[in-house]
Amino acid sequence: MSERPDDTLEMEPAAKVEDVAEPEHDEVDAAVIAALDTGDTAGLKELVDGLHYADVADIVERLNPDRREQLLTEIGPDMAPDVLAELDETVREEIFEAMAPEQIAAHVQELDSDDAVEIVNQMEAPEQQKVLEAMPAPDRRLIEQSLSYPEESAGRLMQREIVTVPTHWTVGQTIDFMRQAAEGDDDILPGSFYDIFVVDPMHKPVGTIHLSHLLRAKRPVKVTDIMETELKLISVTMDQEDVAFLFRQRDLVSAPVVDEAQRLVGAITIDDVVDVIHEEHEEDMLALAGVGEDDLYDAAIDTTKARFRWLLVNLFTAILASLVIGLFATTLEQIVALAILMPIVASMGGNAGTQTLTVAVRAMAMRELTSTNAYRVIGKEVLVGAINGVLFAVITGAIAWFWFDAPQIGLIIGLAMIINMVIAGLAGAAIPLVLDRFGVDPAIASSVFLTTVTDVVGFFAFLGLAALFLL
């Protein structure tokens, strides 16, 4: 079909791949550092202006504190407020220490409400109060209201800037409203949005319209004729993990958030949910190792304090394993081969248990492991442990036999391997479930208990069998 002349769009030439390829991080960092060292402010601003705000935040984080302060001094007034939202919390705190509350408030009020709430929420109480007092009253009230909701809830996560239309409007009225709002001095539209919410006179959501559906409809059509009425409403008090699970299950791009009276107060969009998923998975991963999420940017003394607690717990569990070894001191004195082979049993059990533990913690976080299928999952992991135990029993038993020319040693380490890997499978799946039942975060405490179980069982089984068969 031919197009009318007035419908023809002038297309820009397609960009070549090499024209849009981003430079390597190391190259950009080197260029920024060179500009800082030579005092080339113009070149520095040109470098930064050509980058996405998330990339600027990455550069700020990678610089040492002195150069970081210099960079912000040079480009501070021209820095995009979105850079603050992308910074690591510890780095952002360092930057805020050099800024007046009025400066911080000026940057924060330029952000979308969800980003502004996140930044203000992470401030210490005295600084938070000063920044809020420096903000215009309408912005301050919105942030304070969001801060009144529980930590890590939908109320803290939602964006307050939303597009709502009454039920009696048409498609044409809706489009005209958005155009006029965008052209006005005070743009009330969110920076990016995917859905328009249809509300009744009580401001309760009755439907949602995807932008793609709106643009395909004719102007006289009423919004109620094209809206989707099957809404998944999110309570302001819903936990952010539950929100992320809901988005994943229902393939949502955005969802309305309602208060206790079911009135529409905001919306959660997929970009915020992606951040939640990333944060939760990162938190679980770091917790398994006993480190904090800001460990990379914390001062050495703070990192030392944070890691010391779990290392202390590990020390006591290691002592417990050593006490088990001490019970068989006489056996070890008579058969030196046992001391050489003993770490193999504990190590294999620990690694097998960690594999099971990682799968179990991840499955619990994704709601794939619950009380409904717990016994089946535990049974499977025990079976996997038994199969692997037999396979590695044959391998290690043969090695020990030829190494020390003693078939009894090979038999003992083989049996101990089977016992410890079965227990490792059982413990790796059961420990997270038990801890969760008692209200303890499985990601934080599971690894400590698992290490203790596999070490104690491994040493006891190996040395106990040696004492039984060889002495």
Task: DSSP for 63-131, please give it.
Answer: S-HHHHHHHHHHHGGGS-THHHHHS-HHHHHHHHHTS-HHHHHHHHTTS-HHHHHHHHHTS-HHHHHHH
- pLDDT above 60 for 16: no
For tokens 């859905």, name the residue: 195
Res. 457 pLDDT band, cuts 50 70 90: very high
Mean pLDDT of all residues in 86-95: 85
Rounded distance between C-alpha atoms, residue 156 and residue 361, angstroms: 26
Res. 18 pLDDT band, cuts 50 70 90: very low
Considering only 116-120, 358-362, 372-376, which range has the smallest mean pLDDT?
A: 358-362
- pLDDT above 90 for 224: yes
Rounded distance between C-alpha atoms, residue 209 and residue 224, angstroms: 9
Res. 237 pLDDT band, cuts 50 70 90: very high
- pLDDT above 80 for 62: yes
Res. 308 pLDDT band, cuts 50 70 90: low
More confident residue, 283 or 45: 45
Nearest Cα neighbor of 368 from 376, 444, 275 is 376
Q: Show the domains of the chain with their CATH numbers.
A: 17-152 (1.25.60.10), 164-288 (3.10.580.10), 300-470 (1.10.357.20)
Greatest distance between any 2 Cα atoms in the chain = 99
pLDDT at 424: 93
Res. 10 pLDDT band, cuts 50 70 90: very low
Res. 307 pLDDT band, cuts 50 70 90: low
pLDDT at 363: 83
- pLDDT above 80 for 230: yes
pLDDT at 447: 82
Q: Give the number of residues written for the chain.
A: 471
Res. 21 pLDDT band, cuts 50 70 90: very low
Mean pLDDT of all residues in 252-280: 90
User: What's the gap between Cα 146 and its chain centre?
Assistant: 21
- pLDDT above 50 for 6: no
- Whole-structure pTM value: 0.63
Considering only 47-51, 53-57, 455-459, which range has the smallest mean pLDDT?
A: 47-51
What are the start-end ranges of the H helices in 327-373? Answer: 329-334, 336-365
